[in-house]
Amino acid sequence: QDVRGPDISADGRYIVFESFASDLVGNDNNNASDIFRYDRDTGSMIRISVDSNGVEANGSSFQPSISAEGLRIAFASNASNLVTGDGNGYTDVFVHNLSTNNTRRVSVHSNGSEGNGQSYEPEISDDGLFVVFVSFANNLVSGDDNNFLDVFIRERDADETYLVSVSDDGDQPNVFAESMEPSVSENGRFVVFQSYADNLAPGETNTDTRDVFVRDRQAGTTAYASVSSGGQIGNQSSREPVISADGYYIVFSSKADNLVANDTNDDRDIFSHQIQTDVEPPPPTPTVTLTVNFMAGAPGSVFAFSGSGYGQNQPVAIYVNNVNVGIATADFSGNIAFRLDSNSGTQQGMYIVRAENSNGRASAPISLDDAVPVRPTSGSGPTFSIPVGVAYTYQIYLP
């Protein structure tokens, strides 16, 4: 069956997608497209488009979007049984939280009442706290009377819904000027979208063309993003915007030939726009590291590991060949130290030790070989053990 709409977590471990296939997980009997999450580390597959009790959806689900850590997934669905009280008969937007197995509908009014129109095109912020989507509903906020597709944001912690596709003065887009394709920064401050509207920001000259806009929710301003470095608005259609997590960069496609010099191919190109605001580019993220005092030993050896870049006082998961063996805690400087004990029953071979958290992942190999002396060590930190019977990466055969 077709597989569509993939999205990937920040560290590349988890992939979500839509599929009509009924053999990816057990008991898939709804004869509809579902949302799945694949774990590239463990090879496991789970279905996301279920209610809080794990009951499968009674309608098709599509357009998944995954948070940075891979635990919260937003998606659109025609199903009416994912939450109680879903009686509007329209496509809605939901978020499934894998840390709680809870499914919630987010395309609702701040008071919880359901929308009276289709809602779709969700994107969840990297931190999982904000979801942007488009909707034909005119009852998600008060005063929505333009009778066309608008962009909204749901603050999940506050249970508040706001209209995003508005001007500095709060004016809605012109009647029949749809706004769509939203993307949100990690902290929910910036939302980009494309629209036909010519009244969202000053300076519009191509009134029959799609433009890309950026809404600064903190400042309450809306500005063109499909502009040249000198501020000239694109002279042809611009769409498909995506904003970086830090809210500093926007990429989009455009047929405009006046955004950069020497654009003569008369075709759609990809552009990057840097928002000129008080937002500063973030400092480079430190690369996490993991090193071992020696790489070879015999069963019974104790290996000492150290790493850095994991964040102040942050937990760090330790894996041996994808099997979690414990949690180390980084110190004030983001450094970790731990020991790994290989008992005498551990199989000879190569093992990959990995330390990871939301700041990144790093790995280091060790090998066990009876031809190498046992190596005791006095390394610091907690001691973990290689589980007996854990799959080794490859066997070492002695001559």
Task: Give the CATH number of the domain where residue 26 resides.
Answer: 2.130.10
CA 290/CA 165 separation, integer angstroms = 45
- pLDDT score, position 147: 86
Burial of 31 (0-12, 13-18, 19+ CB in 10 A): exposed
Q: Which residues pair with 151 in a beta bridge?
A: 134
Domain membership of residue 397 (yes or no) is no
Q: Are 71 and 210 part of one and the same domain?
A: yes
Q: Are 70 and 152 part of one and the same domain?
A: yes
The SS3 call for residue 251 is strand
Per-residue pLDDT of the chain (399 residues; tens, 9 = 90+): 788 999 999 889 999 999 999 999 999 999 999 999 999 988 999 999 999 999 999 999 999 999 999 999 999 999 999 999 999 999 999 999 999 999 999 999 999 999 999 999 999 999 999 999 999 999 999 999 988 899 999 999 999 999 999 999 998 988 668 999 999 999 999 999 999 898 999 877 666 789 999 999 999 999 999 999 988 999 999 999 999 998 989 999 999 999 999 999 999 999 999 986 566 666 666 689 999 999 999 999 999 999 999 988 999 999 998 889 999 999 988 999 999 999 877 888 889 999 999 888 999 999 998 889 999 888 889 999 988 766 554 444 333
Q: Are 46 and 181 part of one and the same domain?
A: yes
**Which residue in the block uniquely carries the two structure tokens 């004030």?**
332
Last residue of a domain, one of 274, 309, 339: 274
Domain membership of residue 170 (yes or no) is yes
- pLDDT score, position 394: 44
| Domains in the chain, number | 2
- pLDDT score, position 177: 82
The SS3 call for residue 184 is strand
CB atoms under 10 Å from CB of 251, counted, come to 17
Q: What is the CATH number of the domain that holds 311?
A: 2.60.40.1930
User: What pTM does this model have?
Assistant: 0.73
- pLDDT score, position 285: 62
- Rg, C-alpha atoms of the chain: 25
Q: Are 168 and 244 part of one and the same domain?
A: yes
Q: Are 307 and 267 part of one and the same domain?
A: no
Domain that holds residue 341: 289-385
Q: Are 264 and 332 part of one and the same domain?
A: no
